[in-house]
Chain A
Amino acid sequence: GENVEQHPSTLSVQEGDSAVIKCTYSDSASNYFPWYKQELGKRPQLIIDIRSNVGEKKDQRIAVTLNKTAKHFSLHITETQPEDSAVYFCAASKGGSNYKLTFGKGTLLTVNP
């Protein structure tokens, strides 16, 4: 089955800096790659996603890039703010956004004021 590796497991940045989280996947049939943000004590929430026919997608301060050849994708957060502090999960699916997801192990991002 699919295997998703996520790095780093923890990331600490200063407010205003950029943060990058990277994921690799094993199944070349995967075609949908979402990112979820989980604040402390809350449920995961979808923040951005990308499909295999697109190389990059941006939404305000967050962007995701996908390299299908290398089977890796990354989350980029610019101008980080303290409210960006959370655990971020990448995931992969080969059936689109409504199919079962395989998640990475998560990255704890801390943005220091």
Chain B
Amino acid sequence: DADVTQTPRNRITKTGKRIMLECSQTKGHDRMYWYRQDPGLGLRLIYYSFDVKDINKGEISDGYSVSRQAQAKFSLSLESAIPNQTALYFCATSDLHDPGGSGYTFGSGTRLTVV
């Protein structure tokens, strides 16, 4: 089935380390997003991309960077991880045309712990 895959599923890293979270999709969607989820804070947008050459900051982009390597791949990097970046990270995709109105498809999430 067409889906959105995130790797790794879980990761523990040390403060100051560089880490990359990866997202790949087989849905053929143009648009991809990175959100982080914290208890009581909901889902907050980090970065989004509407096509390979388009990258946009979301509401909480500081400390993060992204790369859209191909239509199907969108990676999130933490250049120097800090403990308050401990969170559940979701990648999501949406179709430019979205004829069925199905909205976002979320990945399964990456639980990141920075110690």
Contact = CB atoms under 8 A, between A and B. Distances in A.
B88 to A, nearest CB: 10
A31 to B, nearest CB: 13
A6 interface: yes
Contact of B43 (A42, A44, A99): A44
B41 interface: yes
Binding site of A, secondary structure by majority: helix, strand, loop or mixed? Answer: loop
A98 B40 contact: no
Nearest to A102: B45
B98 interface: yes
Interface of B: 31, 33, 35, 40-45, 48, 58-59, 90, 94-98, 101-104, 106-109
A6 B101 contact: no
Given A42-B108, A46-B104, 6 more contacts: A34-B104, A49-B103, A98-B31, A100-B48, A103-B44, A105-B42
A43 B106 contact: yes
B95 A103 contact: no
A62 interface: no
Contact of B107 (A1, A43, A46, A89): A43
A97 interface: yes
Interface residues of A, number: 23
Given A1-B59, A98-B95, A105 B103 contact: no
A98 B32 CA distance: 10
Contact of A96 (B59, B98, B109): B98
Contact of B104 (A1, A42, A101, A104): A101
B40 A97 contact: no
Which of B48, B95, B101, B103 is the most central at the interface, judged by chain A CB atoms within 10 Å of its CB?
B103
Contacts of A36: 104
28 contacts: A1-B59, A9-B40, A34-B104, A42-B108, A43-B106, A43-B108, A45-B106, A46-B102, A49-B101, A96-B98, A97-B98, A97-B102, A98-B31, A98-B96, A98-B98, A99-B31, A100-B33, A100-B45, A100-B58, A101-B45, A102-B45, A102-B59, A103-B35, A103-B43, A103-B44, A104-B42, A105-B41, A106-B40
